[in-house]
A and B are shown apart, each in its own frame.
Chain A
Amino acid sequence: MTFIWPDYANLRKLQYPVATCVLRLLHYFKQTTARRTKTLITQFGPPNHRGTASTAKRSIRKRIMERMPSTESFGSGNFGSGNVQSFGSGNVGCGNITSILNSNVTVNEIDEDNQIKKWLSPLMPQARHKSVQSEGVAGVGGWLLEKNEFRKWSSSQGEPKRAILFCYGDPGVGKTHMKSVRKPSQTTGYC
């Protein structure tokens, strides 16, 4: 028999007929444990398996973990609904998903939350925030937080008129001026 592994690209295509898979899942869990184990062994077990169900499960788990896509690569890529058929027959596909679920590799592993975040935006404002934060000098600009406009903006509740605060200025003001004072004997500036 041939083994069709649930590799990443195929898994994504499979997400399309979710309703079908859910029905199959329900059907799957109605079966007895012994029968489920048997399905697992035929799907993922080593070829010509002769050991016990538990040794088969261990090897299955290991092999599934090796094959699982990292969540990093999730979320991008094309969604070709026309290619659903390319993953063997649809039946085998759903069988593989049920096997994954049964072997303690939960949907969590696939992590819908991360997929949603990737779907929403590739931008990482936190990274930029950290680098700006590290460049800042403690106390510099602190006056803004004491300013009337800022206080009104941040503390007003339910006042649509104070919803927006725009701070404008030329960036980097000061740097050029810093170079203007130099000790006569010295060639290096202070900025």
Chain B
Amino acid sequence: MLTASNISSLVIDHLDEQVYDPNIAVAGLYCDYNAQEQSTTNMLGAILIQLFPGDGTREPAQQAFRRAQLGGRAAKLSDLIKILKATIALLQRVFICIDALDECPPEIRLELLESLQGIVSASPKTTRVFLTGRPHVRDEVTQYFPEAMMTLITPTPRDIELYLEMRLGRDPTPAAMDEGFRAKIMEVIPKKISPM
């Protein structure tokens, strides 16, 4: 009901809504256990593509693509990092949101964090990175970003109420429901779940 992905999608939408300037870019990426093509290069590539609406931001990628003999040679991680740095340097602000780091295999996760570290340190004033993941990834994030801000995601009583209302609204057997039971659900479940 309140997953890291929900939070990520909420943040991406929130940032998107606020941004009208093409020189401010929002890039979102969801890590996925099941994704076959999940490599650091592909992940950074997917982020880069989302920066293209900005003025002239296609050019570093275009030049690299042409140098790679029109894409005949596969994009390398080092290329991608260089292109990303050059592209971000053309923009005023860049928000990069990466969801569910724990769904990345550990070696890719570390490579990704290391790449991000390089990208952020190249333009620390422009780049803003939003990450989500299970608590065990926390140490890795701190390892690369000692100053990262941390926030715990846990549903608030209000979240639980909103969720229950939605679920009860979709009840497949509404006849079995009465006001008393409904009230009991709305009272007991939020208390049971929320640690807040």
Contact = CB atoms under 8 A, between A and B. Distances in A.
Contacts of B150: 149, 165-168
A38 interface: no
Of A123, A133, A173, A190, most buried by chain B (CB within 10 Å of CB) is A123
Interface in A150-173: 150, 152-154, 157-173
Interface string B66-77: 001111111100
Contacts of B42: 121-123
B86 interface: no
Contact of A120 (B7, B73, B75, B141): B75
B89 to A, nearest CB: 15
Contact of A166 (B10, B45, B124, B141): B141
B90 interface: no
B71 A143 contact: no
Contacts of B71: 75, 79, 115-116, 118-119
A65 interface: no
A171 B100 contact: yes
B44 to A, nearest CB: 8
* Size range of the chain A interface in the assembly: 35 or more
A186 B74 CA distance: 58
B28 A123 contact: no
Interface size class of B (residues with CB under 8 A): 35 or more
A144 interface: yes
B58 A113 contact: yes
B1 A132 contact: no
A167 B43 contact: no
B188 A181 contact: yes
Interface of B: 1-15, 27-30, 32, 35, 37-38, 41-46, 48-50, 58, 61-62, 65, 68-75, 80, 93, 95, 100, 120, 124-125, 127-135, 137-138, 141, 145, 147-156, 158-160, 162-163, 166-168, 171-173, 176, 181, 184-185, 188-189, 192-193
9 nearest A-B residue pairs (beta carbon): A79-B72, A121-B45, A169-B153, A160-B124, A120-B45, A164-B148, A119-B71, A123-B46, A121-B46
Interface of A: 12, 15-16, 18, 75, 79, 81, 112-113, 115-125, 128-129, 132-133, 135-145, 147, 149-150, 152-154, 157-175, 177-178, 180-181, 183, 185-186, 188, 190-191
Given A137-B163, A154-B128, A164-B129, 5 more contacts: A118-B71, A164-B148, A165-B148, A173-B1, A178-B1
